[in-house]
Chain A
């Protein structure tokens, strides 16, 4: 090699150029790929315990971590293929007391897959295994309320959460509000009155508003009911609200929360309050 000492150096330079050029191209044209791998080696039900090899909680952790990557990044059309299985079967059976997967799994099911029932089922499963975790019924109640608009169901969930020590104060308010949304104003008013009684000053203002408006609604409803009965009997609207009192349909004429009498229009039979609502009514 003495006669051409630069030959190895030339070849080395060529090799480095090849590496550099190809690296540049490859970085500029990456494969569109799913970064977290796909569901090839997820254990099925029969194999679960074996797959854990004596460390079920560890396997649950690993699969959970993988699932977050997977569902966070992968956008393929089949990404929900084994969603129930991953969270409800694999992780939940490997480590039923691991709470985060129930929450995340339900989140994905409800918000991304848009399958509320599946999400609530998963949370029910979590609640059964973890009766002392308020967060599970709380989340379920929230989904039932916000996504499903199923207020009685939400109320049931919130009530369950309330019975678990450590639940935040907001659950009571949500619970109370559910009855309002459902139309059971009286129950709602009663619950809001409880909230008002126990609340700290900041919350008291909010609760007072609810109580105020609900009281009006309850009164209006009651007046409306009495008016309807009177009209049944006499075929027309009564001339004034105290007619109802005289005829024994009302114990006394109610006053609105600000102490003013309700305004009654005998022509249409409608009752409104002189005091405006404090909150936007729904």
Chain B
């Protein structure tokens, strides 16, 4: 079972790397980093901070977009176009297939994020700005990418249309960044029914805003190791859960 799983992972990686969307998004990220100096000229913030913040934001945004698009296309398109048929007729379980896809995607994202991070760190070093403070932000961004990609995979496995999967993934991403404000809403709600719904949503969504430690990175504040560790555990837990859900949904699907 491991053998075919790794074969699928390797193939997914190869296919992702040959997808032009990857390079387009990478180019946009680099462009944004290059333009950050211009942005610094137009605002009151100090230039170092703006370059750092823009760079980190570029990696986060384009990393997420890459993860979402690849995640949806690599599973959803494959089911739609039936290229998965010959693969699934082999001695590989549906779970193994989904997990292999995820690992391949993850590898792609790691490589992509590493390349963007290298460019970013290079830029910082060239400017003489400190590099250490941004490292926790880069790592947690990567963990966030893993979760968002797992989301994309999950929705692809569940829905019949790649477009629907894409929309749901993006919607969940936005909701995941806003979910921290729900407790503020609960205070204003009367009626236990409404509160129950809000709490249910609160616990059902991944809290993606927590992966953002860019503010600390930009201002050179330290992020405790314990927090990084627990945040990573949080991300890993969610990724596993989502991939399992994707596997389960996919295991019962008719592939027509």
Contact = CB atoms under 8 A, between A and B. Distances in A.
Contacts of A8: 95, 244, 247-248
Main secondary structure of the interface of B (DSSP, over half): helix
A39 B53 CA distance: 12
B45 A19 contact: no
Contact of A40 (B45, B226, B231, B248): B45
Contacts of A82: 44
A43 B42 contact: yes
Contacts of B49: 38, 40
For chain B, the bracket of interface size reads: 20 to 34
B218 interface: yes
Contacts of B186: none
B215 A19 contact: no
Nearest to B244: A12
B227 A29 contact: yes
Interface stretch (A20-28, A106-114, A165-173): A20-28
For chain A, the bracket of interface size reads: 20 to 34
A16 interface: yes
Nearest to A82: B44
Contacts of B44: 39, 42-44, 82, 85
28 contacts: A1-B95, A8-B247, A11-B244, A14-B240, A15-B238, A17-B237, A18-B233, A18-B234, A19-B237, A19-B241, A22-B237, A23-B207, A23-B234, A26-B231, A29-B226, A29-B227, A31-B213, A31-B223, A33-B215, A34-B215, A39-B44, A40-B43, A40-B50, A41-B45, A42-B43, A43-B42, A44-B43, A50-B42
B203 to A, nearest CB: 8
B45 A42 contact: yes
Main secondary structure of the interface of A (DSSP, over half): helix
Given A22-B230, A26-B234, 18 more contacts: A8-B244, A8-B248, A18-B236, A19-B237, A21-B233, A22-B233, A25-B230, A26-B227, A31-B213, A38-B219, A40-B43, A40-B49, A42-B45, A43-B44, A46-B42, A47-B42, A51-B42, A85-B44
A1 B251 CA distance: 11
A33 B241 contact: no
A41 B240 contact: no
Nearest to B40: A40
Interface of A: 1, 8, 11-12, 14-19, 21-23, 25-26, 29, 31, 33-34, 37-44, 46-47, 50-51, 82, 85
Nearest to A28: B230
B210 interface: yes
B93 interface: yes
B45 to A, nearest CB: 4
Contacts of A50: 42
A31 B216 CA distance: 9
Q: Which 3 A-B pairs have the closest CB atoms?
A: A18-B237, A40-B45, A22-B234
A41 B207 contact: no
Pick from B93, B237, B244 the residue with the most CB of A within 10 Å.
B237
B241 A41 contact: no
Nearest to A76: B219
A22 B244 contact: no
A47 B218 CA distance: 23
A92 to B, nearest CB: 15
A37 B215 contact: yes
A8 B216 CA distance: 38
A89 to B, nearest CB: 9
Given A22-B231, A31-B216, A44-B42, A12 B241 contact: yes
Nearest to A50: B42
Pick from B44, B210, B216, B226 the residue with the most CB of A within 10 Å.
B44
Given A8-B247, A41-B50, A33 B230 contact: no
A23 B208 CA distance: 12
A15 B224 CA distance: 23
Contacts of B244: 8, 11-12, 15
